[in-house]
Amino acid sequence: MFPFKSNITIDKSLKTPIYQQVSQQLMVLIREGKLSFGQKLLSSRALSEALGVHRKTITQVYDELISQGWLETKQGNGTFVAQNLPEIIPQFLEENQKNEKSKIAGFAFEKKDFLIREVIKATEKLHLDDGFPDPRLAPLADLARAYRSNLILGNSYQKLGYGDTKGSLWLRKELAKYLNETRGLNINENNLLIVRGTIMGLYLTSLAFIKTGDKVAIGESSWQSANISFLQVGAELLKVPIDENGLDVDALEDLCQSNTIRLIYITSHHNYPTTVTLKADRRIKLLQLAQKYKFIIFEDDYDYDFHYQSRPLMPLASADNQGMVLYSGSFTKSISPAFRVGYLVATEDVIDHLAHYRRIIDRQGDNMLETAIAQLLHEGIIQKHLRKGLKEYKNRRDFFCEELKRVFQDQVQFQIPEGGMSVWVKFEDEIDMQKTAETALKNGLYLSNGFHHNVEGKIKNYTRLGFASSTVEELKEAIGMLKRSLEFTSI
């Protein structure tokens, strides 16, 4: 007789019901060939006594496995392993192989190196990150109030059911009004697609408008997530130099004369990663080139709301009268990365087209969150928060830059950024950035080693040090920790 007692274990401390534990283990025994086709099982009474459980539990086990086709009954003879299961050849695995069963797939798939990159997580107390906002400043109480009211009031069938694939109509209307007032756009709700952040907007754009072999122009050091989206659809990346005035549009023109460019990705307001602003004359020429050579401009305006000098330059989209610009932004920087609400602005036909693609990967966004943000825009709360945040982030920028210069002196070089949430810093060539970042992390400070920003012969030992997500006191502590990490790695 098969030794059921030694092959089936029951753990009463688990939340999984006992009948499910026994059912799952019996199925495994059948799959592994330890219980063969047509083999007779113990009666429910005998098995319940062997396992020390109630007979009704085993009856429930048998009923469940019979209904799924694993077992069958023969009138008057008892319960058997089903005869019509496919032939199973028993496989005896070593203990280490058993541990690997949940790790390694049984089928082949292609791994693409460009998809593999560090995932930044908010885990360290001290952080000089890529340029993230401080969620402690966000209007969370107002957002919770708006979310709750939108959740419990109104027609629940409409609010909690399927909605428009373009996003909440209320949010699109409020956003259109807000963007017209602050960015000089001239749009309505039909020119907006709500997405889960800029990265989703990039992915949809790549799917909808780029084919294998198309050429996409990017800055010589650009945002990796954008590059990955383009590479994933088979695009060829053409790199354009960046200088103190932003993208070199003359170099771009040279590329256009010898290549058919489908799209250019640009962070015109605060170039990523260098933080410089694309000057007015270059903006005009870039739009002219787009019209002449018929390429799409994807304008990623990731932190437009935080500019510290005077009134920020209007986005390229505000001067686009030929429908060449796809304009993207999000609430990731203005509220928090956890709130995945962003937007794409384009002509109505482009928005309709992108909405079809959005539907097949993410039917719709978070309608409750979108309507809550719409309410805060309508009440002016987000606008008030941005004004407050601008003042606080400017104070943090000023302190951070002064402290960097005081503590590190000639060890670092940087320009005080006109806007944004990070400083583009060059460390002396003798400094080992990888060891410095590793040492800092061991001591509770996160910063990037900046390797992914390197450009052969031009950019080396640069990294972005974010200041916005930390208080002045935290920034002072972080700089002290960074200084000690440098000293340790240079010994």
Assign residue 336 the CATH number of its domain: 3.40.640.10
446-466 pLDDT, tens digit each? 998 888 888 877 778 899 999
Q: Which domain holds residue 289?
A: 138-383
Q: Are residues 230 and 167 in the same domain?
A: yes
Q: Are residues 58 and 10 in the same domain?
A: yes
Q: Are residues 78 and 145 in the same domain?
A: no
CB-based burial, 193-219: b 16+ in 10 Å, e otherwise: bbbbbbbbbbbbbbbbbbeeebbbbbb
Q: Are residues 250 and 318 in the same domain?
A: yes
CA distance readout (Å), 290 to 151, 322, 382:
44, 9, 34
Q: Which of 72-81, 226-235, 318-327 is least confident?
A: 72-81
The pLDDT of residue 171 is 93
Residue 381 and residue 373 in contact, taking contact as beta carbons nearer than 8 Å: no
Q: Are residues 38 and 145 in the same domain?
A: no
Decide which of 365, 383, 401 is a domain's last residue: 383
- The number of angstroms, rounded, from the C-alpha of 261 to the middle of its chain's C-alpha atoms is 27
116 assigned to some structural domain? no
Q: How far is the C-alpha of 368 from the C-alpha of 78, rounded, in Å?
A: 55
Q: Are residues 454 and 310 in the same domain?
A: no
Is pLDDT at 194 greater than 90 in this prediction? Answer: yes
CATH of the domain at 26: 1.10.10.10
Q: How far is the C-alpha of 317 from the C-alpha of 299, rounded, in Å?
A: 8
Q: Which of 114-123, 144-153, 333-342 is least confident?
A: 114-123
Pairing of strands 325-330, 296-300: parallel
Residue type, 25: Q
CATH of the domain at 483: 3.90.1150.10
Residue 455 and residue 418 in contact, taking contact as beta carbons nearer than 8 Å: no
Decide which of 352, 383, 414 is a domain's last residue: 383
Residue type, 439: T
Tell me the Ramachandran region of residue 74: left when phi exceeds 0, alpha when psi lies from -120 to 50, beta otherwise. beta
Q: Are residues 408 and 485 in the same domain?
A: yes
Q: How far is the C-alpha of 485 from the C-alpha of 488, rounded, in Å?
A: 5
Is pLDDT at 152 greater than 60 in this prediction? Answer: yes
Q: Are residues 405 and 358 in the same domain?
A: no
The residue among 124 and 281 whose pLDDT is bigger is 281
- Residues 200-228 have a mean pLDDT of 93
Percent of the chain clearing pLDDT 90 (strictly above): 41
Dmax (CA) of the chain: 92
Confidence of residue 491 (pLDDT cuts 50, 70, 90): very low
Residue 198 and residue 205 in contact, taking contact as beta carbons nearer than 8 Å: no
What is the token pair recorded at 115? Answer: 């998809």
Decide which of 335, 362, 383 is a domain's last residue: 383
341 assigned to some structural domain? yes
Cβ burial, residue 341 (10 Å; 0-12/13-18/19+): buried
Q: How far is the C-alpha of 209 from the C-alpha of 219, rounded, in Å?
A: 20
The pLDDT of residue 95 is 58
Q: Are residues 170 and 299 in the same domain?
A: yes
The residue among 144 and 98 whose pLDDT is bigger is 144
The pLDDT of residue 367 is 82
Q: Are residues 352 and 373 in the same domain?
A: yes
The pLDDT of residue 290 is 95
Is pLDDT at 206 greater than 50 in this prediction? Answer: yes
The residue among 51 and 96 whose pLDDT is bigger is 51
Cβ burial, residue 223 (10 Å; 0-12/13-18/19+): buried
Q: How far is the C-alpha of 346 from the C-alpha of 8, rounded, in Å?
A: 61
SS3 assignment for the chain: CCCHHHHCCCCCCCCCCHHHHHHHHHHHHHHCCCCCCCCECCCHHHHHHHHCCCHHHHHHHHHHHHHHCCEEEECCCEEEECCCCCCCCCCCCCHHHHHHCCCCCCCCCCCCHHHCCCCCCCCCCEEECCCCCCHHHCCHHHHHHHHHHHHHCCCHHHHHCCCCCCCCHHHHHHHHHHHHHHHCCCCCHHHEEEECCHHHHHHHHHHHHCCCCCEEEEECCCCHHHHHHHHHCCCEEEEECEECCEECHHHHHHHHHHCCEEEEEECCCCCCCCCCCCCHHHHHHHHHHHHHHCCEEEEECCCCCCECCCCCCCCHHHHCCCCCEEEEEECCCCCCCCCCCEEEECCHHHHHHHHHHHHHHCCCCCHHHHHHHHHHHHHCHHHHHHHHHHHHHHHHHHHHHHHHHHHHHHHEEECCCCECCEEEEEECCCCCHHHHHHHHHHCCEEECCCHHHCECCCECCEEEEECCCCCHHHHHHHHHHHHHHHHHHCC
The pLDDT of residue 419 is 86
425 assigned to some structural domain? yes
Q: Are residues 238 and 367 in the same domain?
A: yes
Q: How far is the C-alpha of 303 from the C-alpha of 297, rounded, in Å?
A: 18
Q: How far is the C-alpha of 239 from the C-alpha of 236, rounded, in Å?
A: 10
276 assigned to some structural domain? yes
The pLDDT of residue 94 is 63
76-102 pLDDT, tens digit each? 788 998 888 776 555 555 655 555 667
Q: Which of 8-17, 233-242, 358-367 is least confident?
A: 358-367
Residue 70 and residue 32 in contact, taking contact as beta carbons nearer than 8 Å: no
Q: Which of 284-298, 333-347, 427-441 is least confident?
A: 333-347
280-325 pLDDT, tens digit each? 899 999 999 999 999 999 999 988 888 887 767 888 999 898 999 9
118 assigned to some structural domain? no
Please count the structural domains in the chain.
3
Of 372, 323, 332, the residue nearest 195 (C-alpha): 332
Residue 421 and residue 306 in contact, taking contact as beta carbons nearer than 8 Å: yes
Q: Are residues 349 and 446 in the same domain?
A: no
What is the token pair recorded at 465? Answer: 């040090």
The residue among 489 and 313 whose pLDDT is bigger is 313
The residue among 488 and 368 whose pLDDT is bigger is 368
What's the chain's average pLDDT? 87
Confidence of residue 109 (pLDDT cuts 50, 70, 90): confident
The pLDDT of residue 96 is 58
Residue type, 70: W
303 assigned to some structural domain? yes
106 assigned to some structural domain? no
262 assigned to some structural domain? yes
- Residues 169-188 have a mean pLDDT of 92
